[in-house]
Amino acid sequence: MINDSAVTDAVTLLDENPDYKVIRRLSSRKSFAENDGRPLLRGVVVDTETTGTNPDQDAIIELGMVLFEFDPQTGVAYNVLGSFDELEYPGFPIPPDSISVHGITDEMVKGKKIDDNKVTHFLDGVSIVIAHNAKFDRVFLEKRLPIFESLPWACTFAQIDWSEEGVGSAKLDYIAYKYDFFYDAHRAEVDCFALLEILQKQLPKSKELVLKLLLQSLHQKSYTISALGSPFETKDTLKAKGYRWNGDKKCWHNTLTGDDAIKEEVVWLKDNVYGGKPAKVEIEVLNCLTRFSNRSGNRGVRQI
Question: Does residue 203 belong to any structural domain of this protein?
Answer: yes
Q: How far is CA 58 from CA 131, 144, 239, 255, 264, in A?
A: 19, 11, 30, 26, 39
**Residue 304 to residue 278: CA distance in whole angstroms:** 6
Residues 162 and 269 in one domain: no
Q: Any idea what the CATH number is for the domain that residue 228 is in?
A: 3.30.70
pLDDT in tens, the chain (304 residues): 566 677 666 777 777 777 778 888 998 899 999 888 899 999 999 999 999 999 999 999 999 999 999 999 999 999 999 999 999 999 999 999 999 999 999 999 999 999 999 999 999 999 999 999 999 999 999 999 999 999 999 999 999 999 999 999 999 999 999 999 999 877 899 999 999 999 999 999 999 999 999 999 998 999 999 999 999 999 999 999 999 999 998 999 999 988 999 999 999 999 999 999 999 999 999 999 999 999 988 999 999 9
Torsion of CA 61, 183, 46, 243, to 10 degrees: -100
Residues 156 and 176 in one domain: yes
Question: Does residue 141 belong to any structural domain of this protein?
Answer: yes
Residues 296 and 150 in one domain: no
Question: Does residue 8 belong to any structural domain of this protein?
Answer: no
Residues 228 and 213 in one domain: no
Q: Any idea what the CATH number is for the domain that residue 109 is in?
A: 3.30.420.10
Residues 229 and 198 in one domain: no
Q: Among 174, 195, 218, which residue terminates a domain?
A: 218
Residue 200 confidence (pLDDT)? 98
Q: Among 171, 187, 218, which residue terminates a domain?
A: 218
For residue 156, which of 144, 165, 147 has the smallest C-alpha distance? 165
DSSP codes joined into one string, 38-57? ---EEEEEEEEEES-S-TTT
For residue 112, which of 59, 176, 37 has the smallest C-alpha distance? 59
Q: What's the count of helices (H) and strands (E) in the chain, helices before strands?
A: 10, 12
Residues 281 and 188 in one domain: no
Strand-pairing partners, residue 46, are 65
State how many domains the chain has.
2
Residues 66 and 165 in one domain: yes
Residue 157, domain extent: 25-218
Residues 116 and 207 in one domain: yes
Helices (H), 166-246: 172-178, 188-199, 210-218, 235-240
Question: Does residue 20 belong to any structural domain of this protein?
Answer: no
Residues 119 and 267 in one domain: no
Residue 12 confidence (pLDDT)? 74
Question: Does residue 14 belong to any structural domain of this protein?
Answer: no
Question: Does residue 2 belong to any structural domain of this protein?
Answer: no
Residues 150 and 237 in one domain: no
46, 144 Cβ separation under 8 angstroms: no
CA 62 to chain centre: 17
Based on the number of CB atoms within 10 Å of its own CB, is 241 exposed (0-12), middle (13-18) or buried (19 or more)? Answer: middle
**Residue 65 to residue 23: CA distance in whole angstroms:** 25
Helices (H), 16-156: 96-102, 106-109, 116-122, 134-144
Residue 139 confidence (pLDDT)? 97
What sign does the CA torsion over 87, 92, 98, 99 have?
positive
Question: Does residue 135 belong to any structural domain of this protein?
Answer: yes
Residues 294 and 239 in one domain: yes
226, 172 Cβ separation under 8 angstroms: no
Q: Among 172, 201, 218, which residue terminates a domain?
A: 218
Residue 184 confidence (pLDDT)? 85
Strand 251-257 vs strand 77-87: parallel, antiparallel, or unpaired? Answer: unpaired
Residue 90 confidence (pLDDT)? 97
Residues 64 and 118 in one domain: yes
> Which residues are CB-neighbours of 227 under 8 A, at least 6 positions away?
238, 243, 251, 252, 253, 269, 273, 281
Question: Does residue 134 belong to any structural domain of this protein?
Answer: yes
